[in-house]
Chain A
Amino acid sequence: MNAILKTVLQRLALGFVTLFVVSALISTSVELLPGDFAKEILGQAATPDTVKAFEKQVGLDRSPVTRYFSWIGGVLQGDFGTSYVAREGYTRTVVSLIVPRLMNTLFLAAMTAIIAVPLALILGMLAALYRNTIFDRLINVTTLTAISSPEFFIAYILVLFLVARAHLFPALSTVDEDTTFVERIYRCTLPALTLLMVIVAHMMRMTRAAIINLLASPYIEMSRLKGISPRRIILHHALPNAWAPIANVIAVNLAYLIVGVVVVEVVFVYPGIGQLMVDAVSKRDLPVVQSCALVFAATYILLNLAADIVAIVTNPRLLHPR
């Protein structure tokens, strides 16, 4: 148990170091890159004085280190700064922009994941068990096509058939605070379905590969030669070693979900954090972009961290030390 605890703590520490370095990279990338940022955002007509004033207002005149620590200090207290897109006497904090959007995105991602994870794992295991049959080949070609298509292709095919032809769903998935839970699920169906198709395809292929890899190992062949029933082989011999690859598959794909969600939210005009980020990028609203990126990156790092920790605590070699 001691060895497990030690490895987990090491991994956690490494995860937090990564998170710290990544946050520093995101916040200081303005300095590291060429381009007259202040001039760009104010337009060509900006005088040197206005540029100076703007830089002072958003803190670009301070040193990168000071700026980073005041930013990350704010972030840790829940203050992500103020959006650049501010009019006279009207400022918007980044938090007030992000939080409701993030809730919407998490709702969509959770809805997708609840269906996608069990479905993909079951289909992937079936494909691995019945490999090289017609069923497996059919699945291989279908999933390859699904992962090769851009998300917006799948999304618009669904729109074509389910909205334009069958009139089953609304074309836009607009929701707000007043939308009821059932209505919300109904409106999220199309974006969730799009994400589902991409994620399930990815996850299935990876599950299949992981299981086949495992079933090819010598100790499984040994147990087969001993005459143990297939059921017992899977449950008692394969499964204890399968948790790590399965956790990895789930984490990688949930992380993939984060990126897929950006495009899908834009297609369906779903008010999530991905759409917020894309809007902010085109307006070059840097505080919002950086905060969104930090949220995305943190989720991504934490998911990978979780997968690693599952892999460590289910590792039979660490669980039963000699």
Chain B
Amino acid sequence: MSLQPDLPEEVVALAATAEAAPRLSRRSFRQRAWRELKHAPITAWIGLLVVTIYVICAMFAPLIAPYSETALVGDAYEPWSDQFLLGTDQLGRDMLSRLIFGARNTVGIAFLTTIFAFLIGGTLGLLSATLGGWTDQILGRAVDVLMAIPQLIFALVLLSIVGTSIVNLIVIIAVLDSTRVYRLSRAVAMNVVVLDFVEAAKLQGEKLGWIISREVLPNILPPLVAEFGLRFCFVFLTISALSFLGLGIQPPLADWGSMVHDNATLINYGDITPLLPAGAIALLTVGVNFIVDWFLHKASGLKE
């Protein structure tokens, strides 16, 4: 990836700048963003729309949802009606409300986990690349071992030891997932730390923290941002799978994975309600993937 090492701000906005690079500095960020959006493919628009809807649902869940997420408001498995738009679940809680609150719980926890994974993996990866030597060797081998075990399987082992709770879930998945972030951030940072301006900063006597955060990090942001999207999808699917297996987010919190599991019986009678939370998971993942595809396409446009 050919980056401009001396222009960190430009690189940060790289997604939005690929085609009109020289004139960019005169446009405001908003103008640039709008310009790019106008030329974005339809799939990127769908992705952005989906993500926006989910974010609104997550932020304003108590305002949008007709009932509380835990209140028993009717009989079990009531059909769709004016009172309960999507019917009720196995305990008589409103399906629609739980679906909306699920956006907050499921997506929120996955988002938080991904952030932790990036903080751990990104920091260690950058340290590894900048320091090299023993630090790099030890971290690298540790990550190799962690990655030799399938992630879901390892998560199951750890959960059986420390027990299932939201904090344990976040920590375990974040640590296991940070191995992938470590690999990527180390690999891309390796290309940057050998450049002259990093050497110059080292000779100038800058501290490690400065070199990592001001010299290296801005130049590897685009691939990391794309990876964040993909990692989020992966974490989101893993947490949903664990919740579906009854080992993730615990009741009474509304969560899409466990909602599918708890109401699965209805599917055998031809009722599609339990598929809605599963579909909500799939839709968000597809949406994020569409955005990442577009972003990667834009970012790689610099190569040509």
List residues of A whose CB falls within 8 A of some B CB. Answer: 18, 21-22, 25-26, 29-30, 33-35, 37, 40, 141, 144-145, 148-153, 156-157, 159-160, 163-165, 171, 255, 258-259, 262-263, 266-267, 277-278, 280-282, 284-286, 289-290, 292-293, 296-297, 300-301
By the criterion CB–CB under 8 Å, are A159 and B267 in contact? yes
A30 to B, closest residue via Cβ: B161
Tell me the minimal C-beta distance from A286 to chain B in angstroms: 6
Q: Which of A29, A259, A263, A284 sits near B150, CB closer than 8 Å?
A: A259
Contact at A150–B268, with CB atoms within 8 Å? no
Interface residues on B, range: 35 or more
Task: Output the nearest chain B residue to A262 by Cβ-Cβ distance.
Answer: B152
Residue B247 CB within 8 A of the other chain? yes
A258: chain B residues at CB < 8 Å are 150, 153
Quick one: given A18-B148, A145-B282, A266-B245, are A160 and B270 in contact (CB under 8 Å)?
yes
Q: Are A150 and B286 touching (Cβ within 8 A)?
A: no
Q: Are B282 and A153 in contact (CB under 8 A)?
A: yes
Q: Using a CB-CB cutoff of 8 Å, which residues 147-193 of chain B contact chain A? A: 148-154, 156-163
Stretch touching chain A among B73-81, B117-125, B199-207, B233-241 = B233-241
Question: Which of A141, A152, A278 lies at the interface centre, i.e. has the most chain B CB atoms within 10 A of its CB?
Answer: A152
Known A164-B269, A263-B244; contact A296-B282, beta-carbon cutoff 8 A: no
What are 24 contact pairs spanning A and B, CB under 8 A? A21-B145, A22-B149, A26-B157, A33-B158, A144-B289, A144-B290, A145-B286, A148-B282, A150-B244, A152-B241, A159-B267, A165-B270, A259-B152, A277-B153, A278-B156, A278-B247, A281-B159, A281-B247, A282-B247, A286-B161, A289-B157, A289-B160, A292-B153, A297-B149
Closest to A26 in B: B157
Main secondary structure of the interface of A (DSSP, over half): helix
- Chain A's nearest CB lies how many Å from the CB of B207? 33
Checking A157, A263, A296 against B241 with a beta-carbon cut-off of 8 angstroms, the contacting residue is A263
Q: How far is the CA of A278 from the CA of B245 in the complex (A)?
A: 7
Residue of A whose beta carbon sits closest to that of B265: A171
Q: In the complex, how many angstroms separate the beta carbon of A132 from the nearest chain B beta carbon? A: 13
Closest chain B CB from A45 CB (angstroms):
17
Scoring B residues 228 to 263 as 1 if CB is less than 8 Å from chain A, else 0, what string do you get?
A: 000001000100110011110000000001001100
Query: Knowing that A22-B149, A152-B257 are A-B contacts, what are 12 other residue pairs whose CB atoms are under 8 Å apart, sorted by A's residue number?
Result: A35-B161, A144-B290, A150-B257, A152-B261, A160-B270, A164-B268, A171-B268, A263-B245, A277-B156, A281-B156, A284-B163, A296-B150
Residues of A within 8 A of B272 (CB): 160
Question: Given that A150-B281, A151-B241, A153-B282 are contacting pairs, would A160 and B267 also be in contact in the complex, using a CB cutoff of 8 Å?
Answer: yes
Q: Is the CB of B286 within 8 A of A148?
A: yes
**CB-CB nearest in chain B for A141:** B43
Evaluate contact between B152 and A282: CB separation under 8 angstroms.
no
Distance in angstroms between the alpha carbons of A258 and B151 in the assembled complex: 11
Could you tell me which B residues sit within 8 Å of A by CB distance?
43, 144-145, 148-154, 156-163, 233, 237, 240-241, 244-247, 257, 260-261, 264, 267-270, 272, 274-275, 278-279, 281-282, 285-286, 289-290, 293
Alpha-carbon gap, A160 to B274, bound state (A): 10
* SS class, residues of chain B in contact with chain A: helix
Cα separation A281 to B285 with both chains bound (whole Å) = 27
Option from A144, A267, A282 in Cβ contact (under 8 Å) with B286: A144
Q: Which residues of B contact A148 (CB under 8 A)?
A: 233, 282, 285-286, 289
Q: If A35-B162, A163-B268, A293-B157 touch, does A282 touch B149 (CB 8 Å cutoff)?
A: no
Decide yes or no: A281 and B289 within 8 Å by CB, A153-B278, A160-B267, A293-B149 being known contacts.
no
A26 to chain B, nearest CB (A): 6
Residues of B within 8 A of A153 (CB): 260, 275, 278-279, 281-282
CB distance from A103 to the nearest CB of B (A): 19
Is there an interface contact between B153 and A152, defined as CB atoms closer than 8 Å?
no
What residues of chain B lie closer than 8 Å to A150, measured between beta carbons? 237, 240-241, 244, 257, 278, 281-282
Identity of the chain A residue whose Cβ is nearest the Cβ of B155 in the assembled complex: A281
